[in-house]
Structure 1
């Protein structure tokens, strides 16, 4: 029983996977920011082109 408790305590202290989880979390936040920025820029660029097109067709 002591061996099981010791192995479980070792499992709780193990931090080897924590770094990869942190990197995955940071990467997901960065990707969300990039997608939001590209969407915002695309919407504004579309509005700009729609404002320019009537002047080009005259």
Structure 2
């Protein structure tokens, strides 16, 4: 089973795929590059305190 198939089953994996799709739609990055950036974006968003979101 591919790692991406496992990630899609979790809420986090679905969020990564959503952000990755937006990144790919607005750039010429491949799947791996877009996924790496998506993980960084989600990490940054998750580090913002709840009150500031």
- Give the alignment's TM-score, normalised by structure 1: 0.34
TM-score, normalisation: structure 2? 0.37
Instruction: Choose 1 or 2 for highest CA Rg.
Output: 1
Q: Which has the higher helix share?
A: 1
